[in-house]
Amino acid sequence: QVQLMESGGGLVQPGGSLRLSCAASRSILSINAVGWYRQAPGKQHELVATIFNNGVTNYAASVKGRFTISRDIAENTVYLQMSSLKPEDAAVYYCNTVPPWDDYWGQGTQVTVSS
């Protein structure tokens, strides 16, 4: 069973940038699609970015043009580069398969966007 661990969250001002990392316990190419999700208090998980094992990417309209999902196959890691951050981007960010597998939800990493 693959394990996924998120890191890289923190406090950033509006307009700032942050890079999140999702480290997998085995090759990410063994997963058909890895996604970054976010969850704000009182809200459902929102899928914001996906990378398929062939390298194709998808983005939610709310983040397209600002966020970039990428991977380092050798390091078994998927990244989310976030730029031009807005207060509404604040949430706990998780990585998981797409569609999500319930057993794969981890602790997530907190992203706070505030001045």
- The SS3 call for residue 106 is coil
Confidence of residue 2 (pLDDT cuts 50, 70, 90): confident
Which pair of tokens denotes residue 102?
């319930």
The angle formed by the CA atoms of residues 93, 19 and 110, to the nearest 5 degrees, is 30
**pLDDT tens digits, one per residue of 39-75:** 999 999 999 999 999 999 999 999 999 999 999 999 9
pLDDT at 26: 87
Which pair of tokens denotes residue 76?
């078994």
| Whole-angstrom distance, CA of residue 42 vs CA of residue 23 | 27
